[in-house]
Amino acid sequence: MKPHPYYDPRNLHNLFTVLLMVQLVLTLFVLYLLPEGTSFHFSPQELVSWAIPLLAVALNSYANWYFKRGFDQMSQLEELDDKLVLLTQLHVRQWVLVQLATFVLMAATLVEQNTFYFVLGLVNILYFYTLRPKLFSFSEGL
């Protein structure tokens, strides 16, 4: 029998908090770098107006699909420790993909100088916050 790593949900909580703070710092950085005359516009005729939000939605959808597929595979594992390690890996990978979508939207805000992408980035940060695992509510006393 192989030794299993000790699983501590607080470590997952710390990682979630760090990733959330990175996104918030990125948001402040983008706000600082945006010029004053930046406009908010969506032009349906421009390919970029559709491509960047669709890329973010695709990354978020892939992250959700990946998490659900991995969660279904957990039933094949017998050891509880293996299930917890897999669950941790699934959460981290999902968070990284969603955070990548936020980076894409914030980078598009700076490149296109359009706050439309910034607003979408804020919505993506809110979505990221909803991905906080419910396991934290059970681990408060640890």
Question: Residue 1 corresponds to which tokens in the numbers above?
Answer: 């029998």
pLDDT digits (tens, 9 = 90+) for 12-36: 888 899 999 999 999 999 999 998 8
pLDDT digits (tens, 9 = 90+) for 67-121: 999 988 888 888 877 888 888 888 899 999 999 999 999 999 999 999 999 999 9
Say if residue 136's pLDDT is above 60.
no
pLDDT of residue 5: 56
pLDDT of residue 27: 95
Our measurement of the distance from residue 124's CA atom to the centroid of its chain's CA atoms, rounded to an integer in Å, reads 8
The pTM is what? 0.84
Say if residue 139's pLDDT is above 80.
no
